[in-house]
Chain A
Amino acid sequence: MNSDQPLLAAEGLSKFYGRRLGCRDISFELYQGEVLAIVGESGSGKTTLLQLLSMQLEASSGSVTYRMRDGVARDLASLTESERRFLFRTDWGYVHQDPAMGLRMAVSAGGNVGERLMAVGWRHYGRIRSAATDWLDRVEIDANRIDDAPRTYSGGMRQRLQIARNLVTAPRLIFMDEPTGGLDVSVQARLLDLLRRLVNELGLAAIVVTHDLAVARLLSNRIIVMKGGEAIESGLTDQVLDDPREPYTQLLVSSILPA
C-alpha cells in the first residue's frame, strides 16, 4: 500500500449549470489519514464540490482520481455503475447533514448498521448483530436500542447511528456534509469529539464540508476556503485560520463569535 500516493486527487474540477457557476478549477490532493475541510458561506460552491467529488454530480470539466484498494488509481468518471455502487458500499462513506437522508428510518438500528455487511455477503444473524452492537457502542449509543428504529432516536443519536452505518465496512474515505448542522451546541461538541476520535483511531481520510470554522478547526488538518465557486485560499487549517492571507478569509475568521 503506497501511502506516498494520494488517495483522492481533484484536477481542475469545474461545474457549470447553464451560465451559472457551481465551482471552478478546483485542484487538491488528499492522503490517507488526512482530513480536509471545505469551508464557505452558503452559495460558495462547497456543496457542489462535495457532490462532484463523491460522484453524485457530473463535472463540466476536470477530473477526480481515486486510488482503489488494489492500489490502482482510477478516474472516477470511468467507473461502471457496478463499480461505483461497490465503492459506495465498502470503501466510502457519506454522512448527510440530515441523518434521515442517510438512514432507513423505519428499519431498526441493527438493520441499518448490518445492511452494508449483508450487502457484502455476511450471512450469520448472530455475528451481524454483534458487529452492530459493537458499533453502537463505539458511537456511544446504548446497545439496548439496537432493535429500535431511528424514528425513535434524538437528532444527535441519529447522526451517530448514521456514522456507525457508514463505518461498519471500514471505509478509507468519508464525505461529510455539515455533520453537526441542525444539532444543539452541546450535542455538536460531543459529536465532534466522537468524530475526531474515530477518524484518528481508524486512520480515515475525510472531506468535511462546513460553514462552521470551529468544526473545521477541530476536525481537519487542511482547509480550502471557497467563495463564489472559487477556492480563494487553502493550506494547513491552523495556519490559514490563525493567519489568513485573503481578505475574505480574514472576514470569515473575524466574524466567529467567541464561544
Chain B
Amino acid sequence: MYVAVKGGERAIENAHRLLAHERRGHRTVPEISLVQIAEQLALAVDRVMTEGSLYDRELAALAIKQARGDMIEAIFLLRAFRATLPRFGVSVPLDTGKMQVRRRISAAFKDLPGGQVLGPTFDYTHRLLNFDLEDQSSVPPPSTSEAQDSAMPRVSDLLAADDLIEASPQADAGTPVGDLTREPLSFPAERDLRLQNLARGDEGFLLALGYSTQRGYGRTHPFAGEIRLGEVEIDFFAEDAGFAVPLGRITLTECQMINQFHGSAAVPPRFTRGYGLGFGHCERKAMSMALVDRSLRARELGEEVKAPAQDEEFVMSHSDNVQATGFVEHLKLPHYVDFQSELGLVRMMRAEFQAAQSGEPLAEAAE
C-alpha cells in the first residue's frame, strides 16, 4: 500500500549532522584552526576574500573551514555574511602608487625605477613535489636587506607622462561610484560596474577568457606593464572630523596590461590599457581580469566584436560563480511536475506516430 512520502524535515536535520561529522573527519586528527588556514593556506583565503568581496582574513578562513575547502561554497558564505553588514560609505580612492611593495615586476622594461623585485613567487620554482613538507618542516629565515626608500612609480604613469599610453579614464567627480551589490546590472554597463563584476568574477572563468584572447579570440596584443603586490592604506572621509582618517592597510595585487596601440588621422597612436585588481596575492586573477577588461572595451575602442571575451553581456552575465553554481546545482531540486508534463506530451506524440505508421485513427485525448 503506497504511503505518501513524508519526513523531509528529519531527513534534512540528519543530513546536516552527517555533514558536520564528515567536516570534522577522524576525531583523532587535530582539528584545523582558523589561524592555520589564514597563515598556511593564505592564497585560498585571498581568493575567497576577492570573490567574496569582503576583506577579512579570519572570516574567510572560517568560511573555508565551514565549506570543507570548497572555494565557491566559502565565497558564497562570505557574500551572504557581507549582505548583512551595515554600510558606512565609500573610501577615498586607493593610491596604489604609494603601495608598500613586496613584489613588483614589469615585462615591458628590463629595468626601471624601483627595479624588478621578485618577492614571494612560485614563478621560478620547479614543480617537483617536496616531500619535506610531509611533516613539520624547518624553514630557514629569508634573506633581508635595507628597506628601500626609492620611488616605485607605476609603469603606466611613466608611459602616460610621455603620452605613449591612453590616459586612465577619468570618472566624473560628481557621479557616485556604482555598486553592483546594490543595483541590478544592465547593459551596456559603465566601467565602474564592469570592473566590480570582473573583480568578483570567477578566477577560472576569467582565466579561460583571458587565455582565449591570447589564442586569437579577440587579440589585444598584451604586455604585462606591471604587476605589484603589497600593502595599501585605506582612508575614509569622516564627516564629523572633516578630514580623511586612515582605517588600516590591506594587501592588494594590481596588474596593468599594456595593449594594442590605437591611432587615427586625428589622434596620434597610443597604447591602450587593461586593469586588474584583487585582494591579497592573486596574480593569475589580476592578470586575467586585466586581459578581459581590455577585451570588453572593444566596442568603445572601435574594434570588431567577434569573440566571447569581447561580448559584454556574455562575460558579465556569467562571471559570478555564486550565481552560476546556484543555478547549475538547482537542477538537483525536484522538477517532477514539469517532467510529468513533458512525459505526457512525448507519450501523446509517440502514440500519434505509431497510429500514423499503422494507419489507424487515434482516439481523442481527454482534456
Contact = CB atoms under 8 A, between A and B. Distances in A.
B302 to A, nearest CB: 11
A258 interface: no
Contacts, number: 5
Contacts of A19: 265-266
B354 to A, nearest CB: 21
Contacts of B264: 18
A19 B264 CA distance: 10
Interface size class of B (residues with CB under 8 A): under 10
Nearest to A19: B265
A19 B266 CA distance: 9
Interface residues of A, number: 2
A18 B264 CA distance: 10
B266 to A, nearest CB: 6
Interface in A81-108: none
Nearest to B265: A19
Interface in B255-270: 264-266
A19 B265 CA distance: 8
Interface string A2-20: 0000000000000000110
A252 B139 CA distance: 84
A124 B264 CA distance: 55
Contacts of B265: 18-19
A225 B286 CA distance: 55
A213 B228 CA distance: 64
A18 B265 CA distance: 9
Contacts of A18: 264-266
Nearest to B264: A18
A226 B266 CA distance: 27
Contacts of B266: 18-19
A123 B52 CA distance: 50
A19 B267 CA distance: 12
Nearest to A20: B265
A18 B266 CA distance: 8
Interface in A210-239: none
A159 B266 CA distance: 41
B304 to A, nearest CB: 16
Interface of B: 264-266
5 contacts: A18-B264, A18-B265, A18-B266, A19-B265, A19-B266
The 4 closest A-B CB pairs, nearest first, are A19-B265, A18-B266, A18-B265, A18-B264
